[in-house]
């Protein structure tokens, strides 16, 4: 295999001095983001916080997220009773299911921009 070295004597582009400096700058920006901007998900908090967006859930979203399993199990019981267990069901098996209308973090409209060094020299 033939290796062609560049002017600075390095065969691979990622080993060049300017690329190493660029990568180190990007790593420092990511570390700064993790340490200074994002929240620590392992701290004990009273409110629910989205790990990916650091958005604090409001009371409606918190209530719906904490009750989601209970509401889903209730809907499952109602489905079984109305469509499977009755002698003559009031609804057929393939009828449309009603949505539970639970609020989640995606219902919180907060747009954030990421500041990074992703542009190349």
pLDDT > 70: percent of the chain = 79
- d(C-alpha 27, C-alpha 47), whole Å: 31
- d(C-alpha 65, C-alpha 59), whole Å: 10
Q: Structure tokens of 115?
A: 């500041």
51 pLDDT above the threshold of 80: no
Q: Looking at residue 80, what is its pLDDT?
A: 87
Q: Looking at residue 8, what is its pLDDT?
A: 60
Domain ranges of the chain: 1-37, 41-107
42's CB contacts (< 8 A; 6+ apart) are none
78 pLDDT above the threshold of 70: yes
CB-hemisphere CA count at 13 Å for 25?
Answer: 13
Q: Looking at residue 52, what is its pLDDT?
A: 76
Name the band, by pLDDT with cuts 50, 70 and 90, for residue 28: very high
């Amino acid at each position: 295999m033939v290796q062609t070295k560049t002017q600075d004597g390095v065969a691979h582009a990622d080993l060049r001095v300017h690329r190493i400096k660029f990568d180190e700058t990007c790593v420092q920006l990511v570390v700064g983001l993790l340490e200074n901007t994002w929240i620590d998900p392992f701290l004990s908090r009273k409110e629910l916080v989205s790990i990916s967006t650091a958005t604090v859930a409001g009371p409606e979203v918190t209530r719906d997220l904490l009750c989601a399993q209970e509401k889903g199990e209730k809907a499952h019981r109602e489905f079984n009773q109305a469509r499977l267990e009755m002698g003559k069901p009031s609804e057929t098996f393939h009828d449309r299911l009603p949505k539970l209308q639970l609020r989640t973090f995606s219902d919180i409209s907060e747009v954030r921009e990421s500041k990074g060094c992703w542009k190349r020299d």
